[in-house]
Structure formats: C-alpha cells, structure tokens
Structure 1
Amino acid sequence: MISTDSALTRDAFTISTDSARFDMAVIHGFLTRSYWAQGIDEPTVRRALENSLCFGVFHGERQIGFARVVTDRATFAYLADVFIIDEFRSRGLAKWLMEVISAHADLQHLRRWLLATRDAHELYRQYGFAALSSPARFMERYDANAYQPAPAGTEAQERSEIGLTGESR
C-alpha cells in the first residue's frame, strides 16, 4: 500500500505522490490540450493539484503521466486528469497507475468513487467502475466556458479583476 509522499518503482518507472517531483509544464501542457480540460490555465491547474491527492508517473526523472483524486479521504473520491503521454502508452502504465491509486492507504473503504471518461471505460471497469446505477439521483452544474477568460467589460471580468470570483480561497 502506498502512503502519502511515497513512491513505487517498476523497471525504469516510478509512481510518486511527492508533489515536489511534479512537472507543471508537463501536467498543464497535457491538460490544456485534452478534451476534458481544453484551455485550462496554469494557475487553475496548480490550485487543482494543491487541493487533490496527486500521483505522478516518471521514467527516470521525466514525468510521463499523472492522475489526481479529489477526496475527503473518508467517504468519497473523484478520479480526474488521468493521462500517460503518447510515447509511453501501451506499456501497462495506466493499469499500474490505477492499481497504485486503488491501493493508496488514504483511499481505502470509501463508499463512492466517481469519474468521467469519453474513451477509457474498459480500463476503469477493471478497477470496479461501472455506469451510474442510479443516474437520476445525480446532477451536475457544468460551465463549458469555465477555462475561457471573461469577455472585457462584462460583470464576470470585472469581478475577476477585483478578486470576487465566487470561489472560496
């Protein structure tokens, strides 16, 4: 079982929760081009990482993958931003990353895990994920423009400039 700020090694690869190792350029670079976070800015990525349990995948010292879990570490977890860069895919690294996440000491005995995916259903099914059993019970609040700057002269842009974003800090 992996615990906070621990690392596991397999061949030339390491999975670590040590945030000092994370390469923000790699993480932000991948996410800003992904279908699920296209256009996300670096400060938002940084804030997301600071408030999540994160896992980096490394080949030597080079970061080649990532995942984060938004969790209270007691009842709930949301798996997000999972990726392995293209040149390292098809080596079982995503499966290993899921095994490590699933075994993490802080993520045991949670009642509910959620994730959203467009194309990796088969991977996640191997780790117990399934379609929502009661989708009518779930709701979402979605802002498709959240990662786009507010247009100049709008109330949202003016509120942003003076720090009134509605977010708790």
Structure 2
Amino acid sequence: MHTLRVTTHADELDTALIHRFLSEQSTWARGIPLATLQRAMEHSLCFGGFLGASQVAFARVISDYATFANLVDVFVLPEHRGHGHSKVLMQHVVAHPRLQGLRRFTLATGDAHGLYAGFGFTAPLKPQSLMERYFPSIYADGPAAC
C-alpha cells in the first residue's frame, strides 16, 4: 500500500479532478461552476492527497488563521476509499501550523461523524446558538435564487 502524500501547494492541485468530483459526485456541491470553485480555492487553505503523481483526496479549510476555521469539501475518490487516506488527510489538516490555537473549528457532515470524532470534533455544545443561511440548490438555480 502506498502512503498518501499531502500538500498545500496550490500549483500541485488537480483543479479539474476536484471540480469533476465536487460538481458530479458530491452530495453537497453538485453543479458547482468551475469559476466558483476556483475562487473558493484561491481564498482557502487547500489540502491535496496524492498517491504517486495522482491526486486522490482533497480538503479545503476556510479560516482567518487566528480564531476560526471551517472544514469543507473533504473527499477521497471512491476507488481509493477504505485505505486510511481520509485519516492521513485529516492528520495533516489538524496539524497544519496555520490552524493551531483556533477558538472554533467547525465542519458539517452527513455521514463521517466517526472519522471527525477521532480528531476531536464533537456536536456543537450549544446548537441552539448556531444559525445559517443555506441555499442547497444555488448551483442549479443560480445566485439570483438567494
């Protein structure tokens, strides 16, 4: 088994692969326009997971690098799941020097609670204090739908 190599160097990331997965296979960003993804990546700390020269995993963190971070767009390509790659990717995310000392680090997941619990993530202490504006079909309906 090959060890996953994780990098945050933007020039190494396979944007076409990331876009293809998010826009066609993810449940949370289906239909995301390439330009929107590119803008999101430019303003985030992105992690790419590689086996050899091929990217097989991705995670993106939105942060002010002082008080808050939000983990989004985490995936391992389906054919590479079950080999511990998500754990290696998460080890790199939580250990990244720019993400230390944060007061709050959040994420949303529908099915990977066990993975994230292993890295200290829990249900919100006060869920009644959390609010959001959420437009799940924005990529299909367009920004005017907001």
Aligned twin of 1:17: 8
Partner Cα separation in structure 1 for residue 88 and residue 97 of structure 2: 16
Question: One-letter code of the match for 2:5?
Answer: T
Q: CA RMSD in A?
A: 1.9
In the TM superposition, residue 86 of structure 1 has moved relative to its aligned partner by 1.1
In the TM superposition, residue 14 of structure 1 has moved relative to its aligned partner by 1.1
In the TM superposition, residue 11 of structure 1 has moved relative to its aligned partner by 4.1
Aligned twin of 1:34: 26
TM-score by structure 1 length?
0.81
Matches within 5 A, 1:51-62: 51-62=43-54
Structure 1 unpaired stretches of 5+: 1-9, 158-164
In the TM superposition, residue 150 of structure 1 has moved relative to its aligned partner by 3.9
Question: One-letter code of the match for 2:55?
Answer: Q
Deviations 1:116-135 (A, max 9, x none): 00000000000011111101
Aligned twin of 1:94: 86
Aligned twin of 1:46: 38
Question: One-letter code of the match for 2:60?
Answer: R
Question: One-letter code of the match for 1:123?
Answer: L
Partner Cα separation in structure 1 for residue 78 and residue 42 of structure 2: 26
Larger radius of gyration: 1
How many residue pairs align between the two structures?
145
Q: Is the 8 A contact 2:69 2:104 kept in 1?
A: yes
Deviations 1:46-75 (A, max 9, x none): 111000000000111111110010000000
TM-score by structure 2 length?
0.93
- Percent identity between the aligned chains? 48
Structure 2 unpaired stretches of 5+: none
SS of 2:102's equivalent? Answer: coil
Matches within 5 A, 1:9-158: 11-32=2-23, 33-150=25-142, 156=144
